[in-house]
Structures are given as C-alpha cells and as structure tokens.
Amino acid sequence: FVESLMPFTAFDETGIVGFFTLRNPDESLDELRFGFVIVNPHKRGKGYGKAMLRLGLKFVFEIYRAKKASLGVFENNLPAYFCYKAVGFNDTVLDRTETYCVLGEEWKCRELIIENK
C-alpha cells in the first residue's frame, strides 16, 4: 500500500492564493485528511482560506464520497483553528495528543473532523 498524496493549489486573478494536500490515512477512502493548509500571507483574513477549504470539502465528499475529513492544527495557531471551525470542522478527542518539537518548544495538536451529512 502506498499512501496517496493529492496536492491542490488555489488561484485567483492575481495568482496563487494558497495550497493544501489531501491524503487517505489508511487503505480505505472513508477518510481524507487535509495537510499543509497554507494561505498566501498577503491574502490572509479575506476569506480565501474558508473558500479553499469549502472547495476541498466538496472534493472530499462529492467526488471521493468519503465519510469524513480530518486535520490537525497546532493549539497556538488560533486563526487557522477558527477558520477550520467556521467551515464546519469539530474538535475530536484522540487517545493520545500529538506533540512536535518546534524551535525548541513543544507544540500540541488539536484534532478536527467533519463528517459527511
């Protein structure tokens, strides 16, 4: 089994707006996971992130017919967290909180999911 990674780049009339990836974390396509969600720093706060995620979710649920989408966000990245919540992602509790060492600090991740209705 080879993990599939699908990269997406979002554009507007001025150029690149943002980027994200989708991957299936296991062999089924029941879940697709967002990663590397990045919005051009000059475009932040203008709704591009939400629009990009909504299009990604359309792909997840309408094209791939996945049952849920998931992602992880660092606890200290509140703008991204609130963007994800605004498009319908909900907090979920895992058995173990993922932590990463970033710039000598321990950063914790929040896990978010959105299920197909």
Return the pLDDT at 33: 94
Return the pLDDT at 54: 96
Return the pLDDT at 1: 36
For residue 59, what are the domain limits? 5-115
Q: For the chain, what is the domain count? A: 1
- Residue 34 in contact with residue 69, Cβ under 8 Å? yes
| CATH number of the domain to which 33 belongs | 3.40.630.30
Return the pLDDT at 104: 92
The CA-based angle 61-19-59, given to 5 degrees, is 15
Walk along the chain (117 residues) and give the pLDDT tens digit of each residue: 345 889 999 999 999 999 999 998 888 889 999 999 999 999 999 999 999 999 999 999 999 999 999 999 999 999 999 999 999 999 998 778 788 888 899 999 999 999 987
Distances (CA, A) of 62 to 5, 85, 98: 18, 20, 30
